[in-house]
């Protein structure tokens, strides 16, 4: 008997019909093909030979692009789906938060739903009664609990469903993208609640596209790509590799337009390589075909999805090569790979150069910033910058 | 993302997942899902009566309407069916209660997996709880519609027969057949959605093919055995009426065909259900 909370996945394969739902038609075709010993057609492997072992109390993030098999793996783990081949074994009580809102019935009141959804999740009625107040309080519903759920906003439904589902004390918690709805404060609350479950010794498997929360919740991370495990290791490393691979997916358009071209961009620290917390200098060479009053935006971030901060300055472009220097007193980005963004807007916010990733560089320094586990930083920052500009030569 | 349609490679054969048929495991899983069964039935009842003006009275409507039609037709001799000396309304209603229970269970329970796919997809449980919960709801409806019997007996100035104690046992037989039909239908509808249009037609046909408003003695004795194997509901419903109105025990000579065949239907249906259950979540 494996210790409670352990999950073991061995040689897991799963396939779906590629283009439509599986119907009896397909079953008969499948049997016919089998009888004629012809290869079966139109199936797509969603998971291919997945082997995993998750220890009790471990928190594991599952990441990957859409269609990489994350949700399918989670459904197989929760035994909602059966595998094509291989096995999933676990011990202990499983709480699966897969699309939690689905468990609510719209014609019933919030109160009735608490009881019925709770029983659906395997609770005893008197346990629910005991925690009823706690659930309503956590969901911030107040008197609305006696209203029919169809009159709830989607945020309220989400809060109610999450509150019910997370109040049970599972030994294994499987979570699929539950935080998609709900406002920021409730997202924080639900993250806190998940951490609490973790602290009680539960095993967590968390699927999300929100890498920041994965980083906050999970020590280990598994990157699924096309149905196979691309990488399995410490969250920081896996996310970094994942982001690097994503960058290849984002098509980087040419950094030039009919009006201007970015000739060169460089970023240097005091002693060569840029370093966290130290002064950095960004140098740009722009060739312009027009003289224009414009505004230059520079951003730096750890992901090619969104910059951590953006600085800007008015710039007077002349015809020919323009040199621009931007200096930051202290680079506020932790160590690791970072991306630099550039955009130029002409009068009337007419884009001369679209704001986009123009390069990638390494920052030396600790990849860890010190803040409490689970905190997601997402508010804009003001960063001081000093700009200088000079005209180099006529085009 | 590269598409891997028709990828030749696959897992080695010996790793293929095969579901072992183990009734012991199924039964213990089902017993573990008692709370779920209760919650689903309760939800169904609450939802049903939440926005209906007539509420509980709806359970009475369908058998009552059929009973009135039958009574009026036979009073004007439009149809000529022997009620063996009992008032037509009592004769018909006694057959209509078990029949309505069966049709309610089949028409709602048959659709139970399809109408609950959103849950089937999200929550792990033995999936037969969905059809079974609708059978429970139909039981409650049946009990409610039985209350009208008291009124009908009062109108007819008669009392039920002493043999009424056979009814619970006969109901167990009916339950076996009902579970068999509902469980099989529910899983087949998932894979064959067209079947849902067939259910009401079969039920309508069944009303005439089952001795609900006529006695089984209408059938010639030579075919009653085969008939009981094909439609176990026939002798069961007829025996129920005999026990309720005519002071007669169950017709064991026919039930001897009906009960084994019900059990066979149940075993076959359950195996089909468990075999097809494996891919239900993929279909949705």
Domain limits at A107? 7-248
Mean pLDDT of A51-72: 89
A271-324: per-residue pLDDT in tens?
Answer: 677 888 888 888 888 888 888 888 999 999 888 788 889 999 998 888 888 888
- Domain harbouring A332, CATH code: 2.70.50.60
DSSP B62: H
Residue B5: per-residue pLDDT: 44
Last residue of a domain, one of A248, A272, A299: A248
Q: What CA–CA distance (Å, rounded) separates A109 from A160?
A: 11
Q: Nearest residue on chain A to B46, judged by CA atoms?
A: A108
Q: Find which of B2, B8, B10, B188 to mutate to test the A interface (most A CBs within 10 Å of its CB).
A: B10
Query: Do A279 and A239 share a structural domain?
Result: no
Q: Are residues A108 and A215 in the same domain?
A: yes
Task: Give the CB-side neighbour count of residue A231, counting CA atoms within 13 A.
Answer: 18
Those residues whose C-beta lies under 8 Å from the C-beta of residue A238, and which sit 6 or more positions away, are A61, A63, A221, A222, A223, A231, A232
Would you call A86 and B17 a contact, using CB atoms and an 8 Å cutoff? Answer: yes
Residue A28 banded pLDDT, cuts 50, 70, 90: confident
Residues A320 and A188 grouped into a single domain = no
CATH of the domain at A151: 3.40.50.300
Residues A185, A284: one domain?
Answer: no
Is the dihedral angle over the CA atoms A91, A211, A99, A137 positive or is it negative?
positive
Length of chain A (residues): 395
C-alpha separations of B93 from A254, B81, B122 in Å: 82, 14, 42
Do A173 and A197 lie in a common domain? yes
- Which structure tokens are listed for B203? 């039920």
The token pair at A332 is: 């506020």
Q: Is A253 within a domain?
A: no
Q: Which two tokens stand for residue A3?
A: 């210790």
Place of tokens 């931007």: A326
With respect to residue A192, please indicate whether it lies within any of the assigned structural domains.
Answer: yes
Contact A82, B278 (CB under 8 A): yes
Q: A329-353 in b/e burial notation, b at 16+ Cβ within 10 A?
A: eebebbbbbbbbbbbbbbeeeeebb
Q: How many CB atoms lie within 10 A of CB B68?
A: 13
Non-local (6+) Cβ contacts of A391 within 8 A are A318, A320, A321, A322, A323
Residue A251, pLDDT > 50, answer no
Range in A225-234, A361-370, A381-390, B223-232 with the lowest mean pLDDT: A361-370
A281 C-beta neighbours (distance < 10 Å), count: 16
Looking at the fold, whether A42 and A160 belong to one and the same domain comes out as yes
B279 or A329: which carries more pLDDT confidence? A329
The count of domains in chain A is 2
Residues A299, A266, single domain; the answer is yes
Residue A93 covered by a domain: yes
Q: What is the pLDDT of residue A392?
A: 65
> Chain B: nearest CA to A84, how far in angstroms?
6
Let me know: does B150 contact B235? Beta carbons within 8 Å: no
CA B126 to chain centre: 20
Query: Does an H or E element contain A24, and which?
Result: helix A24-35
**B123 and A103: CB-CB below 8 Å?**
yes
Residue-level pLDDT at A96 = 76
Clarify whether residues A327 and A361 are in a common domain. yes
Q: Are A162 and A199 found together in one domain?
A: yes
Is B263's pLDDT higher than 80?
yes
Please tell me the distance from the alpha carbon of residue A316 to that of residue A324, in angstroms, as a whole number.
Answer: 10
pLDDT of residue A250 exceeding 50, the answer is: no
Tens of pLDDT, residues B128-157: 999 999 999 999 999 989 999 999 999 988
Mutating which of B6, B11, B48, B195 best tests the A interface, going by the most A Cβ atoms within 10 A?
B11
- Of A194, A220, A248, which residue sits at a domain end? A248
Residue A362: inside a domain, yes or no? yes
Between the CA of residue B202 and those of A71, B209, B268, what are the distances in Å?
A: 40, 10, 20
Same structural domain, A52 and A173: yes
CB contacts of A118 in chain B (<8 Å) are 39
Q: Give helix A154-167 / helix A184-199 axis angle, nearest 10°.
A: 10
Is B46's CB within 8 Å of A39's CB?
no
Cα B51 to Cα B54: distance, rounded to the nearest angstrom: 9
A110 domain residue, yes or no: yes
Whether pLDDT at A1 is above 50:
no
Average pLDDT over residues A163-179: 79
A222 and A75 belong to one structural domain:
yes
- 8 Å CB contact between A101 and B121: no
Q: How far apart are CA A321 and CA A390, in angstroms?
A: 9
Name, in order, each residue with C-beta under 8 angstroms of A350's C-beta and a sequence gap of 6 or more: none
Percent of chain B with pLDDT over 70: 95
A336-345 and A320-328 beta bridge pairing: unpaired
Regarding whether A189 and A40 lie in a shared domain, the answer is: yes
Helix (H) or strand (E) holding A38: none
Q: Is the CB of A105 less than 8 angstroms away from the CB of B42?
A: no
* DSSP secondary structure of A102-113: GG--TTSBHHHH
A49/A189 Cα distance (integer angstroms) = 36
Is A166 inside any structural domain? yes
Helix (H, G, I), strand (E, B) or coil at A54: strand
Chain B positions touching A125 (Cβ under 8 A) are 35
Domain C-terminal end among A221, A248, A275: A248
- Reduce the DSSP state of residue A122 to 3 states and report it: coil
Mutation for B interface: A40, A69, A105, A128, most B CBs within 10 A: A105
The reply to whether A255 falls in a domain is no
Q: Is residue A254 part of a domain?
A: no
CB B186 within 8 A of CB B107: no
């Amino acid at each position: 008997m494996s210790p409670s909370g352990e999950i073991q996945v061995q040689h897991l394969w799963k396939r779906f019909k590629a283009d439509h739902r599986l119907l009896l038609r397909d079953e008969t075709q499948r049997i016919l093909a089998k009888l004629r010993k012809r290869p079966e057609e139109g199936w797509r492997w969603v998971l291919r030979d997945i082997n995993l072992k998750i220890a009790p109390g471990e928190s594991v993030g599952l990441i990957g692009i859409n269609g990489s098999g994350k949700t399918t793996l989670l459904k197989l783990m929760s035994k909602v789906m059966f595998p094509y081949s291989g096995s999933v074994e676990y011990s202990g009580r499983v709480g699966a938060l897969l699309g939690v809102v689905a468990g609510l019935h719209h014609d019933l009141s919030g109160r009735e739903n608490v009881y019925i959804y709770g029983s659906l999740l395997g609770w005893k009625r008197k346990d629910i009664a005991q925690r009823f107040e706690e659930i309503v309080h956590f969901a911030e519903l107040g008197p609305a609990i006696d209203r029919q759920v169809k009159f709830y906003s989607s945020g309220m439904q989400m809060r109610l469903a999450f509150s019910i589902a997370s109040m049970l004390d599972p030994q294994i918690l499987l979570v699929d993208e539950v935080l998609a709805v709900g406002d920021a404060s409730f997202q924080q609350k639900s993250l806190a609640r998940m951490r609490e479950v973790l602290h009680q010794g539960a095993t967590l498997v968390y699927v999300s596209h929100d890498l920041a929360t994965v980083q906050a919740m999970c020590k280990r991370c598994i990157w699924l790509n096309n149905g196979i495990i691309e990488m399995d290791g410490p969250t920081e490393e896996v996310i970094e590799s994942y982001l690097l691979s994503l960058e290849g997916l984002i098509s980087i358009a040419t950094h030039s337009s009919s009006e201007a071209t970015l000739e060169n961009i460089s970023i240097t620290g005091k002693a060569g390589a840029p370093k966290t917390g130290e002064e950095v200098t960004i140098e740009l060479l722009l060739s312009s075909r027009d003289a224009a009053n414009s505004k230059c935006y520079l951003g730096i971030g750890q992901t090619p999805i969104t910059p951590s901060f953006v600085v800007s300055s008015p710039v007077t472009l002349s015809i020919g090569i323009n040199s621009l220097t931007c200096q930051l007193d202290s680079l506020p980005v932790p160590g690791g790979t970072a991306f630099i963004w550039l955009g130029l807007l002409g009068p009337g916010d007419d884009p001369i150069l679209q704001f986009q990733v123009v390069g990638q560089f390494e920052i030396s320094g600790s990849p860890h910033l010190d803040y409490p586990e689970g905190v997601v930083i997402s508010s804009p920052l003001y960063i001081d910058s000093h700009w200088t500009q000079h005209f180099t030569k006529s085009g | 993302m590269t598409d891997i349609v028709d990828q030749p490679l696959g897992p080695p054969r010996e790793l293929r997942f095969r579901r072992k048929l183990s009734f012991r495991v199924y039964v213990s899983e089902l017993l573990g899902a008692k709370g779920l069964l209760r919650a689903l039935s309760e939800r169904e009842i609450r939802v049903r009566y939440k926005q209906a003006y007539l509420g509980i009275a709806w359970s009475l409507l369908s058998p009552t309407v059929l009973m009135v039609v039958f009574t009026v037709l036979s009073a004007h001799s439009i149809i000529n069916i022997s009620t063996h000396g009992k008032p037509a309304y009592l004769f018909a209603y006694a057959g209509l209660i078990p029949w309505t229970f069966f049709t309610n269970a089949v028409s709602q329970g048959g659709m139970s997996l399809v109408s609950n796919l959103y849950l089937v997809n999200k929550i792990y449980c033995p999936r037969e709880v969905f059809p079974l919960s609708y059978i429970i709801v139909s039981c409650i409806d049946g009990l409610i519609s039985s209350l009208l019997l008291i009124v009908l007996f009062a109108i007819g100035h008669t009392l039920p027969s002493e043999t009424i104690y056979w009814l619970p046992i006969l109901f167990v037989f009916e339950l076996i057949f009902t579970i068999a039909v509902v469980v099989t239908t529910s899983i087949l509808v998932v894979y064959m959605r067209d079947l849902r249009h067939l259910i009401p037609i079969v039920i309508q046909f069944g009303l005439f093919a089952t001795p609900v408003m006529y006695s089984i003695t209408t059938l010639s004795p030579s075919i009653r055995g085969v008939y009981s194997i094909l439609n176990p509901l026939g002798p069961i419903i007829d025996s129920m009426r005999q026990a309720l109105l005519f002071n007669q025990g169950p017709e064991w000579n026919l039930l001897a065909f009906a009960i084994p065949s019900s059990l066979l239907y149940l075993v076959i249906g359950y195996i089909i259900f468990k075999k097809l259950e494996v891919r239900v979540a993929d279909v949705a």
